[in-house]
Each structure stands twice: as C-alpha cells, then as structure tokens.
Amino acid sequence: MVYIFYIRSMITTKAARTRQYILDKVAPIFNKNGYIGTSMSDITKVTGLTKGAIYGNFKNKEELALEAFSYNVQFIMDKIRFILNDIESPIAKLFALTNFYREYYKYNLPRGGCPLLNVATDANYTNPELFQRAKYVIEKLKNGIVKMLVDGIEKGEIKNTIDAEKYGGRIFSLIEGAVFTSVMLRDDSYLLDMMNHIDKMIQVELQVK
C-alpha cells in the first residue's frame, strides 16, 4: 500500500512539474501575443512538447490561457506582497507601492507588458471568462489600495474626512493609465511622472500633518 501511494505521489509530482514547465514557457507568449494571437504551433515550439502532451495537462487552449494569465499576474502580486509585507505604516505602504511602479516598466516590458491591460483589451469580446478573471484581479488590486487607506485612517495617518473607496479607485486608475501610456509609447517617463504626482497627492490630500 505504501509503495502504491509512493508511485501515485511520483506521478502527481511529475504532472505538476510538467504543468509548471508549460506555464513557465507559455505565459510570456500569451502575454505578448494575446489569446487569439497565440497559436498551438507557438505553444508547441516554445515548450518542445507535442499538441497531445499539452492537452494531456490542460484540457484546451482556453484553460491554458486562463492559467497563463494567473501565472503572469501572480508574478506581479508576489513582488508587491514581498515589498509591502514587512511595512507596518499604511502611508509608508502607499509610498512603497509608487516606488514599485517606478520600476514596473523596466522589468515587465520584456515579459510583454502589463498582463491586466493586455488581457482586458484582448479578451473583452473574444474570451469572456478570461476577461472576467482580469476584472476580478483589477478589483482585488484596487481594493488592496482601499484597505491601505482605511488602515491609515484607523491608525491616524490618513485624514478621516477622505473617501477611501474613491481615492483607492483614483490611485489605481492613475497607476494603470500611466502603465498603459508608458508601455504603448515605450517611455517610462509617464510612469515616473505619475508616481511623483500620486506621492504629492498622498502628502497634500491624504496624509495627516
């Protein structure tokens, strides 16, 4: 019985490794080319696997695209979480977030740009499930900023007169708009300028003096 369990564990582990390998290779391709623009030949070429091997791990292209999107988003979320994890002050977290996005263009452009913007544009009318997943992530990121603001109000670092929901949406929209402009024009000055603008907003409109 122990031997059978060991064999099953080995098979499961190998399958998980194969899925992870496929995602490692395919996620940047989906991010650069989009759902429609990524063909099965692109997938088999970059992975070195057959079509049968791909579909042995993912039931169809749509499932692979969904998992690839989650993989690309997790790359960003992990970096944000790592940066903010040890920071106690909500105000300091907001400034750390803008510092993160000052570098966003440099490390994300080689990966095909911002996965949220890419999927929201590419999948709006072609893949409703993928679009809904992108929408969910956008809400999650925006709500993360809202939570920082609420925590700041509770700790007396942020003015209790501000509307956390409104400012959270405003800050997120300014960030994503700057990301879009910088990626489209291949110029990170738009991101740098907007992060400076958000910092000033925090200092003047939000922070308790």
Residue spans of the domains in the chain: they are: 2-206
Q: What is the pLDDT of residues 117-168, one digit of tens each?
A: 888 777 666 778 888 888 898 999 999 999 999 999 999 999 999 999 999 9
Give the model's pLDDT for residue 34: 83
Q: Does domain 2-206 have CATH number 3.50.50.60?
A: no
pTM score of the predicted model: 0.84
The Cα-based distances of 191 to 106, 170, 175, 185 in angstroms read: 11, 15, 7, 11
Q: What is the pLDDT of residues 8-60, one digit of tens each?
A: 444 457 778 888 999 999 999 988 888 888 899 999 999 999 999 999 899 89
- Say yes or no to pLDDT of 3 above 70: no
Sorting pLDDT into bands at 50, 70 and 90, what band is 171? very high
Evaluate whether 200 touches 192 at the Cβ level (below 8 Å).
Answer: no
